[in-house]
Amino acid sequence: MMVQRVDRAERVWMFKWLTPLYTVLALTTWWAWLRRGEWEWLAMAIVITLVAAFGWWLLWWARRRD
């Protein structure tokens, strides 16, 4: 029986394309908050930035461990 090795980067393949999208979305949301000044935009910007930061950390972690 042959066992196929899957590296961590392949297990987090979804973050390879989601993380840049979330980064652009975070930057756009911060820009919208600066333009409008509403607290709802600030809350969304903080949450989306945290999601994007987690994605970048996960990609870094997957590459470092292999």
pLDDT digit of tens for each residue in the chain (66 aa)?
A: 565 666 666 667 777 888 999 999 999 999 999 999 999 999 999 999 999 999 999 888 887 765
Nearest CA to 63 among 26, 15, 24, 29?
Answer: 15
Tell me what pLDDT residue 14 has: 74
d(CA 64, CA 66): 6
Domain total of the chain: 1
Establish if 56 belongs to a structural domain: yes
Domain containing 59: what range? 10-65
Establish if 28 belongs to a structural domain: yes
Establish if 5 belongs to a structural domain: no
Establish if 18 belongs to a structural domain: yes
Query: What are the helix (H) ranges across 1-66?
Result: 8-11, 13-36, 39-65
Whole-number Cα distances in Å, 10 to 1, 29, 32, 54, 66: 22, 30, 34, 17, 11
Question: pTM of the predicted model, to two decimals?
Answer: 0.77
d(CA 57, CA 31): 23
